Amino acid sequence: MLSYYRAMTVPSPVQISPVQGLHHVTVMASDPQRNIDFYTQVLGQRMVKVTVNFDDPGTYHLYYGDRTGQPGTIMTHFPWPGAARGVRGNGEVVATAYSAPIASYDFWLGRLTGPGLTGAGLQVSRGQRFGQEVLSVADPDGTWVELVFEDGAPVQDWPASPVPLEHALRGFHSVTGWVGDTGAVRDLLVGQLGFSEVGTEEGAGGPRTRFRGGGDDGSGAGVGLFVDVVERPGQPRGSFGAGSVHHAALRTRDDAQQTAYLEQLTAASYRPTPVQDRQYFHSIYFREGNGILFEIATDAPGFPDDEPVDGLGKHLRLPAWYEARRPAIEAHLPRIVSPEYGVTLGTRELGATPRDELPGPGIQVLTAGRPLGEARVAAILLHGRGATAQDILSLEGGLNLSAFTYLAPQAAGNSWYPHSFLAPVAENQPHLDAALATVEDLLTELEAQGIPAQKVVLGGFSQGACLALEYASRSAVKLGGVVALSGALITLDRDADLDGLPIFMGVAPDDAHIPLDRFEASADLLRSRGAALDARVFPGLGHAVNAEELDAMRALMQGVAAQV
Ligand code: ZN
């Protein structure tokens, strides 16, 4: 049953133009070559840029779009070989729809279902949405990719596409998010960003509400205008992995508009990030009330900024700050072949074990204890070098605290950084920063789930203990407490005000990895910064955890749980 509402015009805030629509969609993937083959050879999109994840140069960032990579056509992927599949759930974008010509319906149905490279046995589901035909398939990592048939705006055709020109996809039509509460999306899109509400129709998964961006005033003529949400109250959140959509980026014309949005979203308590330089656009990120991560990206400078249109995607592009490390980065990146140019990029054979694994954003997180949605207190536990998330989670049984949910991230290669914590910090970069960012990401995620940092205990063993102390000593975030089992500070020159932060530290006097004088210097520093410190030395402990330490940890955690 369809129930259309008249599109309403919402007065946008003074001097801010409406957000125009979609800029790009960013998805986690696994095997990079399968990803390239699907998007270029099946869907006929051009790989317009091969670069790395700016936060993790060991991972590709692949961009697909029209010939020049215009906003509204850009699908981007972080392929992380071997990554486990995500599970779809509320609070995320679950599908991205391209616009396809109405007359091309049979062509695409045949191409997606037919034999050979282009079909490859894809299972296609057919449906209708707001009066338009829709085909849905899963990409090689399970991301839902849809084609909506409409007479949409033309984009810039890519002559080398294996898809004949008249059937070429025309950039995005929409994304679909799953949410518990459509109202929160409306508050953001209509209330803050100048979208209008198109209407709601009943669908198999729940009522689908469509919002339309400000669109076609002069640039890009109507590409990627729509954000749909399907309301599924009471359904669980997903778990992030290969095939999960990381975020949907909306587009704005220039930096001035972006700054205006940044100020407005800050005032409205969306807590957007500061502007980040993504080389081809400038970005801010924020979540709506259900947890969907949105970005606002500028149209400029665009993809032809650092290579000619005729050569887009031909070479590995690195931002200036990584150029000095290009040989190491190329040696680490998996070998891929560009179908357009036949050139090979990256040199690592997949399947080989990298000697020096770089950490990644697609970090797996194991959980234990009370389910995340039901807990009001949490512990983030960081494993030691050579150990696993599973190992550190075994503390849960000994702690026996039923109120806590436990999150344990797994470091790539079982190590958060390659050298001893006593080595010069630069030798452990960028791994150390990436590991600290992992902690930050988990805190952000917990906050989004209703558990603020003050209700989080950050704990770790050995290398994980060093990391936990280091995070606490340099972060402005006020944690609930810190537990460092056989660890010490990595740097002794941080001056964050710890303001009564409860910290427990335990070590053996003859620990082979943690010199006692470093332990004591760390304790002195933390105490001088205002921490409520309980630092104990246990003769005979070895590099291990004993019952007294568990008791101290339990007491600290109970204190955090008891605080209102
Ligand atoms: Zn993005």
pLDDT value for 119: 47
Is residue 108 within 8 Å of 119, Cβ to Cβ?
no
Distance CA 387, CA 390 (A): 8
C-alpha of residue 379 to centroid of ligand 1, in Å: 29
**Closest Cα partner for 506 from 453, 468, 456?**
468
pLDDT at 228: 98
Please give the mean pLDDT across all residues of the chain: 88
Q: For residue 218, what are its two tokens?
A: 């002069």
Checking if the pLDDT of 554 tops 90, the result is: yes
Do both 270 and 369 map to the same domain?
Answer: no
**Mean of pLDDT values over 514-538:** 94
Residue 220 has pLDDT above 50, yes or no: no
Tell me the CA–centroid distance for residue 491 and ligand 1, in Å.
32
For residue 247, report the distance from its CA to the centre of ligand 1, in Å.
6
- Cα of 47 vs centre of ligand 1, distance in Å, is 16
Residue 190 has pLDDT above 80, yes or no: yes
- Rounded distance from Cα 248 to ligand 1 centre (Å): 7
Q: Are 291 and 46 in contact (CB under 8 A)?
A: no
Number of folded domains in the chain?
A: 2
Asked whether residue 495 carries a pLDDT value surpassing 80, the answer given is: no
User: Which of 266, 283, 305 is the last residue in one of the domains?
Assistant: 305
Least trusted range by pLDDT, from 148-157, 175-184, 343-352: 343-352
Dig out the tokens for 36 from the structure.
């390239």
Is pLDDT at 4 greater than 60 in this prediction?
no
pLDDT of residue 221: 53
Of residues 7 and 229, more confidence is placed in 229
- Of the candidates 13, 204, 226, 208, the one whose C-alpha atom is nearest the C-alpha of residue 99 is 226
- Kindly give the distance from the C-alpha atom of residue 249 to the centroid of ligand 1, in angstroms, as a whole number: 5
Confidence of residue 10 (pLDDT cuts 50, 70, 90): very low
CA of 89 to the centre of ligand 1 (A): 20
- Would 312 be classed as within a structural domain? no
Token representation of residue 20: 């125009």
Which residue's structure tokens are 């921490």? 531
Phi, psi of 351 (to 5 degrees): 105, -30
Q: Residue 281 C-alpha to ligand 1 middle, in angstroms?
A: 9
Task: Give distance in angstroms: CA of 518 to centre of ligand 1.
Answer: 41
CA angle 487, 415, 553 (to 5 degrees): 35
pLDDT-derived band of residue 31, with 50, 70 and 90 as boundaries?
very high
Cα 189 to averaged position of ligand 1 atoms, centre (Å):
17
**491 in a domain, yes or no?**
yes
Residue finishing a domain among 277, 305, 333? 305
Q: What is the pLDDT of residue 57?
A: 86
Instruction: Tell how far the Cα of 295 is from the centroid of ligand 1, in angstroms.
Output: 6
User: Looking at the whole model, is its pTM more than 0.75?
Assistant: no
pLDDT of residue 425: 87
CA of 294 to the centre of ligand 1 (A): 8
- Shared domain for 521 and 410, answered yes or no, is yes
pLDDT on residue 121? 62
Does residue 174 share a domain with residue 53?
Answer: yes
Q: pLDDT at position 200, please?
A: 98
pLDDT at residue 54 is higher than 70: yes
Distance 325 CA to ligand 1 centre (A): 24
* Alpha carbons 523 and 495: distance in angstroms, whole number: 14
- Amino acid 387: pLDDT: 82
pLDDT mean over 11-40: 84
**Structural domain span for residue 187:** 21-305
CB atoms within 10 A of CB 195: 27
Q: What is the pLDDT of residues 111-147, one digit of tens each?
A: 988 765 544 567 889 999 999 999 999 999 999 999 9
342 assigned to some structural domain: no
Helix or strand or coil: residue 228?
Answer: strand
Say whether 443 sits in a helix, a strand or coil: helix
Q: How far is the CA of 6 from the centre of ligand 1 (A)?
A: 31
410 and 298 part of one domain: no
Assess contact for 19 and 34: CB atoms under 8 A: no
What is the whole-number distance in angstroms between the Cα of residue 195 and the centre of ligand 1? 19
Instruction: Determine the distance separating the centroid of ligand 1 and the alpha carbon of 211, expressed in angstroms.
Output: 20
- Ligand 1 centre and the CA of 548: distance in Å? 47
Distance 106 CA to ligand 1 centre (A): 33
Asked, for residue 12, whether it belongs to a domain, the answer is no
273 Cα–ligand 1 center, Å: 13
Residues 264 and 406 in one domain: no
Q: Locate the DSSP E strands across 101-181.
A: 125-129, 132-138, 144-149, 172-179
Ligand 1 centroid from CA 254, angstroms: 16
Does any domain span residue 105? yes
Distance from Cα 383 to the centre of ligand 1, integer Å: 30
pLDDT in tens, 280-333: 999 999 999 999 999 999 998 999 989 999 999 999 999 888 888 899 899 889
Residue 78, domain CATH: 3.10.180.10
- Ligand 1 centroid–CA 61 distance in Å is 11
Distance 420 CA to ligand 1 centre (A): 34
- Give the model's pLDDT for residue 78: 94
| 366 vs 260 pLDDT, higher one | 260
> Ligand 1: distance of its center to the CA of 505 in Å?
39
486 shares a domain with 416: yes
pLDDT tens digit sequence for 377-402: 999 999 998 888 888 988 888 888 88
Mean pLDDT of 336-347: 89
Span 64-82, pLDDT tens digits: 999 999 999 999 999 988 8
